[in-house]
């Protein structure tokens, strides 16, 4: 039986909590809200600042290298191989062992029709001039045993040098694009290309990829590209919300007659892909001309508002930035 002086196990004890006790929920929230700065914070900030500095040029170089590699693999290399094969059909002079007299088949060199031929390890005979050229450029031990491969390397080294083949391939590519553009512009070409595009759109996955790529390419390369006259701000999609728009024209005369006032056709691009958006017709009085260039507006939209055009000096003088006053 307890005398009232000794606390029982079931009664709360009036003990003092030391500073090492675990904080309660309120203290934990306060600790998260007012976190003490860590010694690693300056290091983290410097790392993120360095990453933000190096990432844009790095990604730019990666994209450029990818473009150059793609053009080389899918355009220039096939054109180079095709040109090499055409030249080989014209200059290749390969004689099988069966065309050589039996007495001379084992000789390293034979003379036929006034030309000297060299025997390869495969048993075939090719022009001595080709073998001597390959020995000079590659070395005697690096000459291929196959006759066709010898001619491929000979043509590659002698006729398809980079300073010769590159301008030729660029000119060929431009000529091909020109002929393709003229063909598509004709009636027959439009019909053929429409049939090809319908084949692309008939497959679900290909349709999605092709449609997206076509939108981007049409925006960047289409001949009938949009001409923007100036940058305006309109209250879209409702009053009180301002959107950046690019004026493209005066819209339909029917809308102008119904509104009984001047109207503007305004293209409102979406972030972060300004090649897509909405076209609205608004009264001219409901637009605000912005003193920014088209490029500055596009940068603002692509960056989702992060890269804003610099404010003019007069505006900064009339609207100085607010400086918080410490209590």
pLDDT at 154: 93
Q: At what angle do helices 187-201 and 162-185 cross, to 10 degrees?
A: 100
Q: How far apart are CA 99 and CA 70, in angstroms?
A: 44
pLDDT at 312: 60
Residue pair 96/124 in contact by the 8 Å Cβ criterion? yes
Q: How far apart are CA 252 and CA 134, in angstroms?
A: 71
Q: Kindly list the domain boundaries of the chain, sorted by start residue.
A: 90-158, 167-221, 231-310
% of the chain at pLDDT higher than 70: 81
More confident position, 195 or 227? 195
pLDDT at 10: 43
- For the segment 2-46, what is each residue's pLDDT rounded down to a tens digit? 444 444 444 444 444 444 444 454 444 444 455 677 777 788 888
Q: How far apart are CA 108 and CA 131, in angstroms?
A: 12
Cα–Cα distance list, 157 to 135, 197, 326 (Å): 12, 41, 76
Report the chain's mean pLDDT, rounded to a whole number. Answer: 81
Mean pLDDT of 186-210: 87
- What is this structure's pTM? 0.52
- For the segment 45-78, what is each residue's pLDDT rounded down to a tens digit? 888 888 888 988 898 999 899 989 998 899 889 9
Residue 161 has pLDDT above 80, yes or no: yes
More confident position, 247 or 99? 247
Helical H runs in the chain?
25-33, 41-71, 77-91, 128-138, 147-158, 162-185, 187-201, 204-221, 253-259, 294-302, 313-318
Q: How far apart are CA 170 and CA 167, in angstroms?
A: 5
């Amino acid at each position: 039986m307890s005398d009232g002086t000794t606390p029982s196990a079931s009664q709360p004890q009036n003990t003092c909590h030391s500073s090492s006790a675990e904080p309660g929920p309120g203290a934990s929230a306060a600790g998260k809200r007012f976190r003490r700065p860590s010694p690693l914070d300056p290091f983290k900030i410097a790392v993120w600042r360095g990453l933000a500095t190096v990432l844009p040029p790095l990604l730019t170089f990666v994209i450029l290298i990818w473009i150059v590699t793609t053009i080389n693999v899918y355009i220039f290399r096939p054109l180079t191989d095709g040109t090499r094969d055409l030249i080989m059909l014209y200059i290749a002079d390969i004689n099988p062992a069966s065309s050589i007299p039996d007495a001379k088949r084992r000789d390293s060199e034979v003379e036929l029709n006034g030309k000297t031929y060299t025997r390869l390890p495969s048993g075939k005979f090719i022009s001595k001039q080709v073998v001597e050229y390959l020995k000079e450029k590659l070395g005697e031990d690096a000459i291929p045993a196959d006759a066709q491969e010898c001619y491929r390397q000979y043509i590659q080294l002698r006729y398809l040098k980079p300073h010769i083949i590159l301008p030729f391939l660029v000119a060929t590519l431009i000529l091909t694009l020109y002929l393709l553009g003229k063909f598509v512009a004709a009636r027959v070409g439009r019909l053929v290309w429409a049939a090809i595009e319908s084949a692309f759109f008939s497959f679900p996955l290909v349709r999605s990829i092709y449609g997206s790529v076509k939108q981007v390419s049409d925006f960047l390369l289409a001949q009938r590209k949009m001409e923007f006259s100036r940058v305006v701000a309109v209250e879209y999609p409702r009053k009180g919300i301002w959107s950046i728009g690019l004026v493209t024209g005066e819209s339909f005369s029917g809308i102008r007659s119904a509104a009984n006032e001047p109207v503007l056709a305004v293209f409102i691009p979406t972030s972060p892909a300004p090649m897509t958006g909405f076209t609205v017709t608004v009264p001219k009085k409901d637009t605000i001309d912005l003193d920014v260039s088209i490029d500055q507006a596009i940068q603002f939209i692509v960056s989702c508002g992060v890269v804003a055009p610099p404010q003019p000096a007069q505006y900064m003088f009339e609207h100085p930035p607010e400086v918080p006053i410490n209590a």
